Amino acid sequence: MVEMAHIVKRFGQPPAAAAVDGVSLAIRERETYVLVGESGSGKSTLARILVGLERPSEGEVRWFPPQPGSAFAAHGHGKGGVPSSPVQMVFQNPDRSLNPYWRVQNIIAEPLVLQGMARREAYALAGGLLEQVRLPRGLLLRRPSECSGGQKQRIAVARALALRPRLLVADEMTSALDPATEADMMQLLMDLQWDSGMSILFITHRLDAVHGFADRMGVMRQGRIVEEGEAASLLRQPSTAYAKALLAACQYT
């Protein structure tokens, strides 16, 4: 569905080390791809290139079928005239990604309004989106500070779902949650994927949370994918010392 071909990203002039150093990665329809690697290995930079927030120094992102304009541009109006976008991202820290002055209703409706939908119509859809992420409509009039960390991340997911993306990119979105809330969130993502057929790119520095969740995995180190494969076998039998060490670190924390 989307393919990243030979992506390089340098933030300084050469010989500065590349944050992403020649990565090729494809994400298929309906699959959950987990990208794992230590802090600074280039995961977020790669994700930002995929969603169009950052331009690669080299290489390209190809969508099948091709998307007109940038990845973030709406690419059409689907059933019922609801605007859509091929890819949406959920970030680690909802306190930075959700406007603290807005009510949940405005936050969820905003992407629809930005794509030209009437505010009243967008608000009417916000309640249904909250229910999709298993939150009560009663939260619509609250502000983020009146919600728990897990609820805020669900609100961020509801906002991302508003444009019915084909791909949801989740960058460390469960890393600040306690283990039980994290497990609930991952179950929710699996349910949403089942219902909508979207693909998920899930980025994490921890391997322990991804058992039973990932279809395929890539292990990133110093800007490169050093190992990639079907998740179950990679977790059972990692072939690089680096992946083994990541796995071992998780088993003792």
Contacts with ligand ATP by CB under 6 A lie at 11, 19, 37, 39-45, 205
Choose between 129 and 203: whose C-beta lies nearer to ligand ATP: 203
**CA–CA dist 249, 24 (Å, integer):** 27
Show the tokens assigned to 235. Answer: 């977790």
Show the tokens assigned to 201. Answer: 């790119």
Residue 3 beta carbon to ligand ATP: minimum distance, rounded to whole angstroms: 20
Instruction: Read off φ and ψ for residue 25, nearest 5 degrees.
Output: -155, 135
**CA–CA dist 218, 140 (Å, integer):** 37
Residue 37 beta carbon to ligand ATP: minimum distance, rounded to whole angstroms: 5
Residue 42 beta carbon to ligand ATP: minimum distance, rounded to whole angstroms: 4
Show the tokens assigned to 242. Answer: 């680096």
Choose between 151 and 174: whose C-beta lies nearer to ligand ATP: 174
Residues 6+ apart with CB under 8 A from 4: 23, 24, 25, 26, 46, 49, 50, 59, 60, 61, 62
Residue 135 beta carbon to ligand ATP: minimum distance, rounded to whole angstroms: 27
Count of positions (residues) in the chain: 253
Residue 150 beta carbon to ligand ATP: minimum distance, rounded to whole angstroms: 21
Instruction: Read off φ and ψ for residue 50, nearest 5 degrees.
Output: -60, -40
Choose between 151 and 153: whose C-beta lies nearer to ligand ATP: 153
Residue 41 beta carbon to ligand ATP: minimum distance, rounded to whole angstroms: 4
Residue 38 beta carbon to ligand ATP: minimum distance, rounded to whole angstroms: 7
* Beta strands 32-37 and 216-221, pairing class: parallel
What are the DSSP E strand ranges found in the chain?
2-9, 20-27, 32-37, 58-63, 76-77, 83-84, 87-90, 167-171, 199-204, 216-221, 224-230
End-to-end CA distance of the chain: 36
